[in-house]
Copies of this chain bind each other. A is one copy, B any other.
Amino acid sequence: MIENLEYDAILEQFKRILRENGLKYTKQREVLIKTLYNSDEHFTPEKLYLYIKEQYPELNVGIATVYRTLNLLEESEMVTSISFGTQGKKFELATKPHHDHMICKKCGLIVEFEDQIVEKRQLGIAKEHGFKLTGHMMQLYGICESCSKNNIKGR
């Protein structure tokens, strides 16, 4: 299944895919995959573009390259994308362990969690429907402990 590969291993895999397809290993591609690896964020293409532009100004990266690289990586199954509501598409490395979010509707607190029972069950559900599972998104909504206690009026 999904292993948590070290960065070097991820990079090697990336280089291998490029080599096998007669593609080239460029600074832009290196920086993009490194950024995805080093961050826990789910990046939109726009955000990723702005971040790389700021961190590596000498590269003078273009947003078209970010889109092209993300699409390339997604086709190679090295990144996955998911959509959060209206916020558009977000990308993350396929090799990272997945986590879900629990969101407090009063104060906006976000708690990350990972649950083996749910993860396992998802595989079962997918199998029952003939799907090959590549990812998932689960968000729980509720009221956090703090907000429950101090029944403060929220937004």
Contacts and interface: CB of A to CB of B under 8 A. Distances in A.
Given A81-B85, A111-B131, A139 B136 contact: yes
B121 A144 contact: no
Contact of A82 (B81, B122, B130, B141): B141
A66 to B, nearest CB: 15
Contact of A102 (B102, B105, B113, B125): B125
Contacts of A13: none
A108 B16 CA distance: 30
A134 interface: yes
B122 A121 contact: no
A139 B133 CA distance: 11
Interface of A: 80-86, 89, 102, 104-105, 111, 113, 115, 117-118, 121-122, 125-126, 129-145, 148
